Amino acid sequence: MVVGGGITGCSAAWYLAQFGADVLLLEQHDLNTQASGRNAGSLHGQIQQPSFRERGEAWARDFLPSLRFLIDSLHIWDSLTDLLGSDLEVSLKGGLLIADSSDQMRLIESKVALERSAGVQSDILGPSDLRRVAPYLSDSMVGAQLCHVEGKCNPLLAAPALARAARQEGGRVIVGAEVLSLEEDNGRFVATTNKGRFESNRVVLAAGNGLNRFSRLWGTPLPIASEPVQAAATEPVSSVVDHLVYFAGDKLTFKQARSGNLLIGGGWAADVDPASGVARVNLQSLISNMAVAMRAVPSLTGVRLIRSWAGIGLATPDLAPIVGSLGPAGLYVGVYPHLGLTAGPLLGKVLAQLALDRAPDFDLGTFAPDRF
């Protein structure tokens, strides 16, 4: 049984079904309606610059296994369209972390050196090379990191396509089924939902922001913090941006969807409605995010913003994922903070492997839930 119909849960269900398990996925709303369907579609393969700036090199060194996890997941993304027979609009043409000062470039160079030690290859571009590959950027940019493995996808397509593939392999997917309680008795789990009771001898918890509710049931709650964040889209414009673009001077991600819309984000804080717990756009964050975007891409001044939205992102204290066994034998939990769209395909795969007593494709030692 899998709880959660985001990218992680749908991937887990697909792999479980492929491995021959009798799989049931339970989702409280519709598929892909929480973080997995609200993100900005960036496929990340570098240490995020704001975290590097704030937490420093020692943290970044410890983060390298988490970076490798993203890289291995990007390998799955690269073939996912073919594996699923469904176009997910994946494009891995690289990520550009641009800089407008020599201090920023120095920090980028030390980050790139660390990433290289984990096998992630990037080029350092000077101003003329940067203008050649991204002529739409401000002339004030003095250079960039070009990280070759990064890119983008359409997050509205991915989780539903994985769930469809799980169904085609014999899996069952029930939406509108909120798991209200989960009990274990003699190695058998019983999930009580508003659509009835379901039993299984293995459970994968891929419930995202709902995970803490379950982790409290078995000892100390996992230290997962909710971080409401937002993103925005412009009207479609003619094709100009190939890369996933970040800015070392402030929080920004910038890319172009296949539809032509420019997607702008970078982890700017959203609000949460205190009554419903639903994330909503913070206007000041939106204004600040657009100001940073226009600093990087001045021609944005002539483009209309058409939509902004918010969702709940998650953080762990060390920004590393939490993956492994929790509580009674047979229960597994998986969450990748901040960058969980990128991590989702591999996270689902290793959760499926754990649940079936197979050796996971990735050494999960440093991600154990009991490390805190």
Ligand X SMILES: Cc1cc2nc3c(=O)[nH]c(=O)nc-3n(C[C@H](O)[C@H](O)[C@H](O)COP(=O)(O)OP(=O)(O)OC[C@H]3O[C@@H](n4cnc5c(N)ncnc54)[C@H](O)[C@@H]3O)c2cc1C
Name the 3-class secondary structure at 343.
Answer: helix
Site for ligand X in 325-354 (CB under 6 A): 335-336, 339-342, 344
In the bound state with ligand X, the residue whose beta carbon lies nearer, of 5 and 330, is: 5
Place of tokens 């996912």: 80
Q: How far is the CB of 124 from ligand X (least distance, A)?
A: 24
Cα(153)–Cα(157) distance, integer angstroms: 8
Number of residues that bind ligand X (CB under 6 A): 42
Q: How many CB atoms lie within 10 A of CB 288?
A: 16
Distance of CA 106 to the CA centre of its chain: 27
Which H/E stretch holds residue 312? strand 305-315
- Residue of 141, 207, 292, 293 interacting with ligand X (CB under 6 A): 207
C-beta closer to ligand X: residue 105 or 206? 206
The residue written with tokens 């600040």 in the block is 288
Considering only residues 282-311, where is the footprint of ligand X by CB under 6 A? 311
Q: What's the residue count for the chain?
A: 372
CA distance 133 to 107: 22
Is residue 221 within 8 A of residue 33, CB to CB? The reply is no
| 280 DSSP β-pair partners | 271
Instruction: Figure out which of the listed residues 1, 2, 8, 137 binds ligand X, where binding follows CB under 6 A.
Output: 8
Number of Cβ within a 10 Å radius of residue 161? 21
Residue of the chain from 14, 17, 23, 39 that contacts ligand X (CB under 6 A): 39
42 binds ligand X (CB under 6 A): yes
The reply to whether 210 sits near ligand X by the rule CB under 6 A is: yes
Q: Which of residues 93-132 bind ligand X (CB under 6 A)?
A: none
Q: Which of 23, 24, 25, 26 binds ligand X (CB under 6 A)?
A: 26
| DSSP-assigned beta bridge partners for residue 204 | 2, 332
Shortest Å, Cβ 251 to ligand X: 12
Binding-residue pattern over the window 246 to 285 for ligand X, x denoting contact by CB under 6 A? -------------------x--------------------
Residue with tokens 């176009």: 87
User: How far is it, in rounded angstroms, from Cα 83 to Cα 155?
Assistant: 17
Task: Give the tokens for residue 347.
Answer: 């996270």
Stretch that binds ligand X, among 78-86, 88-96, 131-139, 202-210 (CB under 6 A): 202-210
Residue keyed to tokens 């989780």: 159
CB atoms within 10 A of CB 237: 16
Q: Is 34 or 122 the residue whose CB approaches ligand X more closely? A: 34
| C-beta closer to ligand X: residue 105 or 203 | 203
User: Quick check: 209 binds ligand X (CB under 6 A)?
Assistant: yes
CB of 91 to ligand X, least distance (A): 13
In whole angstroms, the minimum distance from the beta carbon of 10 to ligand X comes to 7
**CA 29 vs CA 105, 173, 194, 261: distances in Å:** 44, 12, 12, 27
Closest distance to ligand X from the beta carbon of 180 (Å): 7
- Asked if residue 36 binds ligand X (CB under 6 A), the reply is yes
Would you say 56 or 176 has its CB closer to ligand X?
176
Member of 62, 72, 109, 178 binding ligand X (CB under 6 A)? 178
CA nearest neighbour of 166 among 196, 131, 204, 140: 204
Name the residues that contact ligand X, by CB under 6 A.
3-9, 26-29, 33-36, 38-42, 44, 178-179, 206-210, 229-231, 265, 311-313, 335-336, 339-342, 344
